[in-house]
Amino acid sequence: MTSTSTDHNSAISDEDDAMLYKVEDHVATITFNRPDQQNTISGAMLHKFSELLLAADHDVDVRAIIVTGTGKFFCAGLDLRGSDITNNLANKKRRSPTTLDLRNTPPTVLHNIDTPTIAALNGSAAGYGMDLALGCDIRIMADSAKLAAAFTARGVVPESGGTWILPRLIGWSKASEIIFTGKTLVASECEEMGLVSHVVNNNEVGARALEMAKQIASMAPLAVQSSKRMMRMSMNETFNDHVHHVFLQLLPLFQSDDFKEGMASFMEKRDADFKGQ
């Protein structure tokens, strides 16, 4: 993906700048920019969001990704007023329900990329938006924001990873209560359950997310990405298999310039200057 300026900043849109993208100080920020529609996601935005996530993950200059929204909402879910999403799903079902390809949909891409992701919950997230927030590695939430699991109230399931993520985050019983009852959680409940890392004042969400992203970006990128990859793999491995794979990840890291720089900076009692090599 190319950028329109030398500092990588650009606004990319399929419909009136609905998705904003910029890269600065090794941090990519993806912003849902439909405040008048509560940042609901159209079919075109789904495709663009996946593209932006992959572009950031493939950019060697990017070491952390922030996902956030403009205005009072993070994302209020899918925009079902337009027919593109529901019609596309219906058409795929009519053609062949056994060939539905979800590999490039945002929840799958979000799960599989190795670059750390931070959801800066500037406002409430509902339905699909809640699943996307839960799909990020770290969540920082405004104290006035809410997470609304409104799926069963609409006659659907958490279709974007929620049934897989939520029980792993908070256990079966709590996840069942939230999903089955379509519960809405305030920020303090989210923090108490461990659904978010930090709850901050509304006007501090962006700054706190950027601070954390820059801290991640100051670490050795190859080691951070390998750590995320190992954490993801561990969810489906035995302990013995996992430690074997961790050892195999260590071998190339030992050969990297960043490993040498990390050891040298420690011995010389100075900040490391990692290059991602």
Tens-place pLDDT, residues 15-29? 559 999 999 999 999
Domain annotation covers residue 94: yes
Report for 83-92, 146-155, 218-227: range of highest mean pLDDT: 218-227
Mean pLDDT across the chain, nearest whole number? 88
pLDDT given for residue 12 in this prediction: 44
Same domain, 16 and 37: yes
Domain annotation covers residue 272: no
pLDDT given for residue 104 in this prediction: 87
Q: Is the pLDDT of residue 6 over 70?
A: no
Mean pLDDT value across residues 136-164: 90
Same domain, 70 and 30: yes
Same domain, 119 and 252: no
State which amino acid sits at residue 255: Q
Question: Which of 217, 235, 259 is the C-terminal boundary of a domain?
Answer: 217
Q: What is the CATH number of the domain that holds 137?
A: 3.90.226.10
pLDDT given for residue 24 in this prediction: 96
Q: Is 40 exposed, middle or buried (0-12, 13-18, 19+ CB in 10 A)?
A: buried
Same domain, 76 and 193: yes
Q: Which domain holds residue 53?
A: 10-217
Domain annotation covers residue 5: no
Same domain, 56 and 76: yes
Same domain, 128 and 34: yes
Share of the chain above pLDDT 90, in %: 74
Q: Is the pLDDT of residue 122 over 50?
A: yes
pLDDT given for residue 85 in this prediction: 52
Instruction: Kindly state the tokens that stand for 97.
Output: 């329900």
Contact indicator for 204, 181 with CB cutoff of 8 Å:
no
Same domain, 64 and 172: yes
In the chain, the number of structural domains is: 2
Domain annotation covers residue 128: yes
Mean pLDDT value across residues 170-181: 94
Report for 5-9, 63-67, 79-83: range of highest mean pLDDT: 63-67
Same domain, 187 and 225: no
Same domain, 51 and 181: yes
Domain annotation covers residue 277: no
Mean pLDDT value across residues 117-143: 96
Mean pLDDT value across residues 126-154: 93
Same domain, 52 and 158: yes
Q: Is the pLDDT of residue 7 over 50?
A: no
Residues 6+ apart with CB under 8 A from 43: 82, 84, 85, 88
The span from the first CA to the last CA of the chain, in angstroms, equals 22
Same domain, 28 and 58: yes
Same domain, 203 and 251: no
Domain annotation covers residue 169: yes
Domain annotation covers residue 3: no
Mean pLDDT value across residues 170-189: 94
Domain annotation covers residue 256: yes
Q: How far, CA to CA in Å, does 30 sit from each of 23, 47, 195, 218?
A: 9, 13, 21, 20
pLDDT given for residue 47 in this prediction: 92
225-274 pLDDT, tens digit per residue, is: 999 999 999 988 999 999 999 999 999 999 999 999 999 999 999 998 99
